[in-house]
Amino acid sequence: MPDYLLTTSPQMAKRHKRHTRFQWYGRIAIAVSISFMLLMFVAIFTRGAGAFQKTMIGVDVEFAESVIDPQGTRAEMTLKQGNYKPLILAGLQEVIPGATDRRARNDLYKLVSGGAAFDLGERVAAKPNMIGTTQRVWIAASSEVDLYIKGKIDGDSDEAVRRLKDQDIAWINQLKNEGRVKKKFNRVFFTSGDSRAPEMAGILSAALGSFFSLLVCFLIAFPLGILTAVYLEEYARKTRLTNLIEVNINNLAAVPSIVFGLLGLAVFLNFFNLPRSTPLVGGMVLALMTLPTIIIASRSILRSIPQSTRDAAMGLGASKTQTTFHHVVPLAMPGMLTGTILGMARALGETAPLLMIGMVAFIVDVPKGITDVATSLPVQIFLWADSPEKGFVELTSAAIMVLLVFLVLMNLFAVYLRRRLERRW
Amino acid sequence: MTNDTAAQSEALAPIMTARGVDVFYGKKQAIKKVSLDIPENQITALIGPSGCGKSTFLRCFNRMNDTIESCRVTGDIQFAGQDIYDQKVDVVALRSRIGMVFQKANPFPKSIFDNVAYGPRIHSLSESKEHLEDIVITSLRRAGLYDEVSDRLNEPGTSLSGGQQQRLCIARAIAVDPQIILMDEPCSALDPIATAIIENLMDSMKEKYTIVIVTHSMQQAARVSQQTAFFHLGELVESGDTETIFTNPAQERTQNYISGRIG
């Protein structure tokens, strides 16, 4: 065999080496980026997984009528607002009889959540026949106790630097030994709004805020974006004005999102006096931000529809509008929807513009519509990350997980839509 | 005998006339002062080397050049005695009378049935569902495609072979019941067998329709057309009876082209 045909010949060997080298550069690049992603996921997961469980303390409560409902009216308001604190404390003292002076009683009561009394009131109001009985009820532990049970507070560290004192830890261990401590699924996290106390804070208010904002954003940005793209691509003549518009749309796509927030503040809130802190305004601001993305994506899709399709329809005597809406737009729709959903996924993760229009408020109530005050998932993450209580660390990561799940779902939906709509042919 | 002559002279009456047509793409002139008559119920072939403007000229007849922004057409083109570039002429109506088949088969990404039914639907040509089915089947028959696809009218048009797709496009054009069918190199992407089928089809179609075909293949022009027009560098060099053009051209350039010396 002649020498030059062999892979070992000098020129060939050099080429092969270069080929192999570049392959390895590519593989290393992929490995590095994937390991960063994994690192992020692992960090978030290990921190946030705990938040889906919470610690409960079993307390034998004597539901004394004289304390809860001295008049015996059984009115819902009375039952809800009854003074449950001494009942819970008495139950705790049965296990820990030593805590009798005022200070010790206060410390003991701090083992349970600040919302425990309120929570108990709700339960009694729902089941008034509990009154007069003594039952073991499971009450949410305070965030500090929760963290200790989950192993996130080191009992051997210097007492001065932790909120949970040695005495508290001794009490917890005593409760634990009696089987009065258990962990259960943290339903509150998914069913309630924000709270000052980590063990009572939930994501629902923020998730709904995000949902309503995105709904408004979609309803505004999708039709506007598609119509703009179709008009510019199919109808408008190429003039200096359309060129200017095109350049401006491209520029708008690169404008930092906080600028859109300022615009929303100036125009929607200050000029039009729309309600502050609401998904309505949040959605409008996000729509402004998403519009350029949708327009650019849709235009590039429209441009990729072959001219032959338009020719075929026009050659049959279809008008411009018939050609566009019978043939071009249906063919472009999967791509335009994908572009829209990806734009919306970006909007879902936006924080800065929402800060400007006041969706950063502390919202306990769950919003019921687009004009109720609300916050959004990324803003909630920001708020929790900023909170001093240690319990919020877990919640922050858990909220990030929820946000990521939403993002993944949206992207999957985009993929599904594209497959679904394209499969027809 | 006398009847035959009468029929022939009637057939020779031009259905379309072009007088002094200029076409510009921006500042570049693509067609220079072309005048040509298109006789009814005959096949007219436009031949010439690439870039000579024959496709551009063809696209003037149904004003497809309107879709190109930089394109400007001047001169006089009449269809059935009406200037088609008159402001009052509705281009949509014009294109329903003058159909077009393109170089690359371009069926819609819809079913075979919907492909053919689209034209009648947008022009409201059918009175009922049955009538529409009738139009579709007749058109597919005329295009010689029905027997091959009769059992799969609901399959996508894009699933057919190249030659079948092109015949589907012909059926789609026929379905609107036009008077003229413009064909822009309809066989350039097809194999010889599919080409032969379409050439036979054109031959049978000329009884009902007037056909103007742009072709690269001189053999094709010689086989199918009755009249041939030779274009070169945007000018109409020579036009006339196909046989005369191919056997005894008046112009030297025509002679050079058909003998393969230019182009």
How buried is A293 (Cβ within 10 angstroms: 0-12 exposed, 13-18 middle, 19+ buried)? buried
Q: What distance in Å separates the CA atoms of residue A149 and residue A418, rounded to the nearest whole number?
A: 47
Confidence of residue B7 (pLDDT cuts 50, 70, 90): very low
Q: What distance in Å separates the CA atoms of residue A410 and residue A183, rounded to the nearest whole number?
A: 32
On whether both A258 and A376 belong to a single domain, the answer is yes
Q: From the CA of A245, how many Å to the nearest CA of chain B?
A: 19
Q: What distance in Å separates the CA atoms of residue B110 and residue B156, rounded to the nearest whole number?
A: 5
> What percentage of chain B reaches a pLDDT higher than 70?
95
> How many separate helices (H) and strands (E) can be counted in chain A?
19, 3
On whether both A269 and A413 belong to a single domain, the answer is yes
Residue of B121, B122, B158, B181 best to disrupt the A interface, most CBs of A under 10 A? B122
Q: Which of B69, B106, B156 sits opposite A309 (nearest CB)?
A: B106
Residue A199 lies in a domain: no
Residue type, B142: R
> What mean pLDDT is predicted for residues B216-234?
91
Contacts of B96 in chain A (CB under 8 A): 316-317
Confidence of residue B263 (pLDDT cuts 50, 70, 90): low
On whether both A59 and A27 belong to a single domain, the answer is no
Residue B167 lies in a domain: yes
Contacts of B121 in chain A (CB under 8 A): none
Contact: B102, A313; criterion CB under 8 Å: no
On whether both A165 and A309 belong to a single domain, the answer is no
Residue A311 lies in a domain: yes
Q: Does residue A309 sit at the B interface (CB-CB below 8 Å)?
A: yes
Residue B8 lies in a domain: no
What is residue A414's predicted lDDT score, i.e. its pLDDT?
87
On whether both A241 and A172 belong to a single domain, the answer is no
Residue B207 lies in a domain: yes
On whether both A22 and A156 belong to a single domain, the answer is no
Domain boundary among A141, A166, A193: A193
Residue A115 lies in a domain: yes
Residue B2 lies in a domain: no
Residue of B69, B106, B121, B182 best to disrupt the A interface, most CBs of A under 10 A? B106
Domain boundary among A153, A172, A193: A193
Q: What distance in Å separates the CA atoms of residue A188 and residue B126, rounded to the nearest whole number?
A: 63
What is residue A1's predicted lDDT score, i.e. its pLDDT?
63
Q: Does residue A103 sit at the B interface (CB-CB below 8 Å)?
A: no
Residue B10 lies in a domain: no
Residue of B70, B103, B108 best to disrupt the A interface, most CBs of A under 10 A? B108
Residue-range definition of the domain harbouring residue B207:
15-258
What is residue B9's predicted lDDT score, i.e. its pLDDT?
43
- Residue B106 sits at φ, ψ, to 5 deg, of -130, 65
Q: Which of A311, A331, A425 sits opposite B106 (nearest CB)?
A: A311
Confidence of residue B3 (pLDDT cuts 50, 70, 90): very low
Contacts of A329 in chain B (CB under 8 A): none
Residue A118 lies in a domain: yes
Written as tens digits, the pLDDT of chain A (425 aa) is 677 777 777 778 888 889 999 999 999 999 999 999 999 999 999 988 888 999 999 999 888 888 888 888 888 888 888 888 888 988 888 888 887 888 888 888 988 988 888 888 888 888 888 888 888 899 999 988 998 888 888 878 888 888 888 888 889 988 988 889 999 999 889 988 888 888 889 999 999 999 999 999 999 999 999 999 999 999 988 889 999 999 999 999 999 999 999 999 999 999 999 998 899 999 999 999 999 999 999 999 999 998 889 999 999 989 999 999 999 999 999 889 989 998 999 999 988 899 988 888 888 888 888 888 889 999 999 999 988 888 899 999 999 999 999 999 999 988 888 888 775 54
What is residue A365's predicted lDDT score, i.e. its pLDDT?
86
Q: How many domains does chain B have?
A: 1
CB-defined contacts A:B, below 8 A: 66
Q: What is the DSSP string of A247-313?
A: HHHHHHHTS-HHHHHHHHIIIIIIIT-PPTT-HHHHHHHHHHHHHHHHHHHHHHHHHHS-HHHHHHH
What is residue A423's predicted lDDT score, i.e. its pLDDT?
55
On whether both A260 and A382 belong to a single domain, the answer is yes
On whether both A188 and A255 belong to a single domain, the answer is no
On whether both A32 and A153 belong to a single domain, the answer is no
Residue B25 lies in a domain: yes
Which CATH number goes with the domain that contains B112?
A: 3.40.50.300
Residue B9 lies in a domain: no
Contacts of A319 in chain B (CB under 8 A): 92
Contacts of A306 in chain B (CB under 8 A): 106
Contact: A322, B122; criterion CB under 8 Å: yes
Query: Residue B155's closest chain A neighbor by CA?
Result: A425
A15-48 core/surface letters (b: 16 or more CB in 10 A; e: else): eeeeeeeeeeeeeeeeeeeeeeeeeeeeebeebb
Residue A388 lies in a domain: yes
Residue of A234, A238, A316, A320 best to disrupt the B interface, most CBs of B under 10 A? A316
Residue-range definition of the domain harbouring residue A11:
3-49
> What mean pLDDT is predicted for residues B89-110?
91
pLDDT for B139 beyond 80: yes
Q: From the CA of B158, how many Å to the nearest CA of chain A?
A: 8
Q: From the CA of A340, how many Å to the nearest CA of chain B?
A: 23
Q: Which of B95, B106, B156 sits opposite A317 (nearest CB)?
A: B95
Q: How many domains does chain A have?
A: 3
On whether both A251 and A389 belong to a single domain, the answer is yes
Q: From the CA of B122, how many Å to the nearest CA of chain A?
A: 7
pLDDT, tens digit, 9 for 90 and up, residues A306-319: 888 999 999 998 99
Prediction ipTM score: 0.86
Residue A198 lies in a domain: no
Residue A314 lies in a domain: yes
pLDDT for B4 beyond 60: no
Q: From the CA of B100, how many Å to the nearest CA of chain A?
A: 5
Q: Would you give the distance in Å from CA B22 to the centre of its chain?
A: 20
Contact: B176, A317; criterion CB under 8 Å: yes
On whether both A172 and A27 belong to a single domain, the answer is no
What is residue B50's predicted lDDT score, i.e. its pLDDT?
86
On whether both A38 and A164 belong to a single domain, the answer is no
Q: Which of A237, A316, A331 sits opposite B69 (nearest CB)?
A: A237
pLDDT, tens digit, 9 for 90 and up, residues A318-354: 999 999 999 999 999 988 998 999 899 999 998 889 9
Q: Which of A238, A315, A425 sits opposite B109 (nearest CB)?
A: A425
Q: Does residue A315 sit at the B interface (CB-CB below 8 Å)?
A: yes
pLDDT for B10 beyond 90: no
**For residue A164, what are the contacts with CB-CB under 8 A and spacing of at least 6?**
A144, A145, A148, A153, A155, A172
Contact: A316, B169; criterion CB under 8 Å: no
pLDDT for B103 beyond 80: yes
Which CATH number goes with the domain that contains A233?
A: 1.10.3720.10
Name the A residues in 180-209 with CB < 8 Å from any B CB. Answer: none
Q: Does residue A10 sit at the B interface (CB-CB below 8 Å)?
A: no
Contacts of B93 in chain A (CB under 8 A): 317
Contacts of A310 in chain B (CB under 8 A): 67
Residue B111 lies in a domain: yes
